[in-house]
Each structure stands twice: as C-alpha cells, then as structure tokens.
A = this chain, B = another copy of it.
Amino acid sequence: MTGAWAAMQRVFEERGQQEIDEGRVAGLAALAARVRELSELLLLTRADEAEVAVVTRELEVLNRRLAEAGRGIPPAAEVGDGGVVRQLGSPVTGALNTLAPPIEIRVSADGTARSEFTLGVLYEGPPGFVHGGVSAMVLDHLSGCAASANGTPGMTAGLDLRYRRPTPLGVPLSAEAKAVRVDGRKTFVESRIIGPDGRSTAEATAVFIMPTR
C-alpha cells in the first residue's frame, strides 16, 4: 500500500503543476454537458441506421480535431472553498468527466457532506430505478469527502451497503455522509441516499485508513 500511496502522490503533484485556465475549463464543461445529452439521446433516439451512421462519421471528425491538438494529462484536483476538493476529472463529481452526473458536494459546518442530484436513464439498473452500483459509487465518493472534511482522509478499506428500497430514476434525490468515529488510523463514515419521500433508499458504513508514510 505504501508504494501505491507514493505513486498517487507523484501523479497528484505532476498534475498540480498544470496551469488551470478557467475559461477553457468552462468551455470543456459545456462540451461535456453536450456529450451527456448525446449519451442519453443515443439510448432513446428513434433515428434510423443511416442517420446514426452519418452522426457517427461526423463525430469521428470532431474526435480527430481534439486528438490532433495533442493529449496531455488529466486536470489536477484542487482544494476549493470550505475544503471541498474540486476534481474536474472525477467519474462522480467531475464537470469534465462525462460519466459523472455530475453531483455537486458541499460540506456544512458540522462536517456533513451533502448533495442533491437527479439520475437519468443512463444510470438505470432495474427497469425504472437507479443501478445499485451507481448508488454505491455515489456513497463511496460522498463518504470519502466526509472523511476528508473530518481532517482524516485515507484510503477506503471497506464499504458496507444496505439497500432499503429501490432508488427512483428521474426524480430529485439527496445524499449525505458524516464521519462518526475515529479509531487510531481508521475513520468510520455513515452515509445514505434519500428519496423524494424523505426515506433512505440506500445506507452505507465506510471505513477509511490513513496510510503510513
């Protein structure tokens, strides 16, 4: 684990040396929003095979333009207001990661990490409901934020999820996480996703361990 931790620190530092041009980031975030729309359209469109083929060829041209500009490294994570980490490339919260809904997380004065979000058809598991693995991903990420907000970040050692009822798609959800106990190098975080009726749909207990250096 120590080797992996050192490797993470190296990558983290390398990325931090990039300059962040906020205008360019806003432009890339707008592009990411369009890609999310395209992803949803791709699942739902009634376009026929010929029309899909035309769109595919035109998309190849756009990809080539971006590829010809050269490839760099992913954007740096930065610590923003209130200690919340802005990870532009995160698959859960990243404005520049088209996999991310994205969810925005804020941390209140008592250390609770909270978020409100709606998950569309791309996040579906059972017909009409959120994929259990997506709920797991959100709670894993939010729990990590709560551990960091507690001043005891670390590597996730365990995540124990209880699914109480199906989480509905396409309606406003909220989620919250809070560190409840620190025991030596271990931090325990409780988290949950809350449906529109105020009841928990999924709950988790996460354990984070601070690596030794």
Residues in A lying within 8 Å of B, measured CB to CB: 1, 4, 7-9, 11-12, 15, 21, 23-24, 27-28, 30-32, 34-35, 37-39, 41-49, 51-56, 58-60, 62-63, 65-67, 69-75, 77, 89-92, 96-99, 121-129, 131-134, 136-141, 144, 155-163, 165-166
Count of chain copies: 2
Chosen A-B contacts, 27 in total, with CB atoms closer than 8 Å, are: A8-B166, A11-B127, A27-B53, A31-B42, A35-B38, A35-B42, A41-B63, A42-B96, A43-B74, A43-B97, A44-B71, A44-B72, A46-B69, A46-B72, A55-B65, A58-B58, A74-B124, A91-B124, A99-B122, A131-B141, A132-B144, A133-B137, A133-B138, A133-B139, A155-B166, A157-B162, A158-B160
B92 touches A69 (CB 8 A): no
Q: A155-B163, A157-B162 are in contact. Are A24 and B43 (CB under 8 A)?
A: no
Task: List, in ascending order, chain B residues with CB within 8 A of A41's CB.
Answer: 63, 66-67, 71
CA distance A70 to B41 in the complex (A): 9
Structural contact, A65 and B91, CB atoms closer than 8 A:
no
Residues on B with beta carbons closer than 8 Å to the beta carbon of A160: 158-161
Q: Find out whether the CB atom of B63 lies under 8 angstroms from the CB atom of A34.
A: yes
Whether B56 and A30, one on each chain, are in contact in the complex, defined by CB atoms closer than 8 angstroms, is yes
| CB pair A39 B71 closer than 8 Å | no
**How far in angstroms is the closest Cβ of chain B from A154?**
11
From B52, B98, B166, A42 is in contact (CB under 8 Å) with B98
Q: Are B129 and A133 neighbours in the complex by a CB distance under 8 Å?
A: no
